Amino acid sequence: MKMRAGCVALLVLLSTVSSCDLGLGTDPYRGIANDACLAGNTRRTGQACVLSSAGIVIDGQAADWEAIASIPLAGTCAGSCDMPLPVALQLATVSREDGERALAWRLVLDRAPPQLDSAVRYAIEFRPLPTWNARSVDAVELSAGVSWYVKSGNPARMVDDPKRPSPWAATWTSDGWEGEAATGLIALRGGVVASARVDRHDGSEWRTQWVSDRARGCWEQDAIKLDPCSPEER
């Protein structure tokens, strides 16, 4: 009788526990394959929304971007926005010649880029995920034929040294510009928030004229249910 009573008590306890959502024995990836990925990210391994890995070469030719998803860009004008403005962004991860991983991007403008106009500057800004603050913003800027890497507000002009490949690159295309930056340089971990910016030089300083909405990209190792690019984290 004592054994039978003990079994009944155990069944009652199990019944009570099963009626509570304790998260025990549940599958954290259940239904994840049906979750929508943010624009620019693709479903991989059934677990994560990540950026595509591609053989992108920063050479001014856009044909190698054909398989990469395009993210439509909208933005806010804060000045005289009569220059060509960004309309689409593409993001991908690439392997550099030095073996390091890099984030690559292509920014498409609404008309031919002003490749010789040194008074107009285009920038792509990066904010690391899963956490970032106003001071942890890096950028690659391109004006005429000169590019800069800006690390938390401090610009560094690219040095042409074949013995020491630059950790970033940028060049014009027929419809915009493309570039890459080593993920170690940007200090990217789980992913990135990217946005475009257009500046004009008024004779004394650069003034921001247009800023795009932000887009998100994630890495393969971020294959968890609540990754920075899941819909829950928008």
pLDDT along the chain (234 residues), means of 10: 47 40 45 73 75 92 95 94 97 86 96 97 90 76 93 72 80 97 85 94 95 88 51 46
Domain edges within the chain: 32-233
Q: What is the pTM of this model?
A: 0.79
CB 162, CB 86: distance < 8 Å = no
Q: What's the pLDDT score for residue 76? A: 97
Give start and end residues of each alpha helix (H) in the chain: 2-18, 183-186
Nearest 5°: CA angle at 106, between 54 and 32?
Answer: 55
Q: Which residues share a beta bridge with 195?
A: 125
| The two structure tokens encoding residue 170 | 């940028």
CB 157, CB 84: distance < 8 Å = no
Q: What's the pLDDT score for residue 100? A: 83
Q: What's the pLDDT score for residue 39? A: 87
- The secondary element (H helix, E strand) that includes residue 43 is strand 41-44
Q: What's the pLDDT score for residue 157? A: 62
What is the C-alpha R_g of the chain? Answer: 23
Q: What share of the chain is helix, strand, coil (3-state, %, to 5)?
A: 15, 40, 45
Q: What's the pLDDT score for residue 33? A: 62
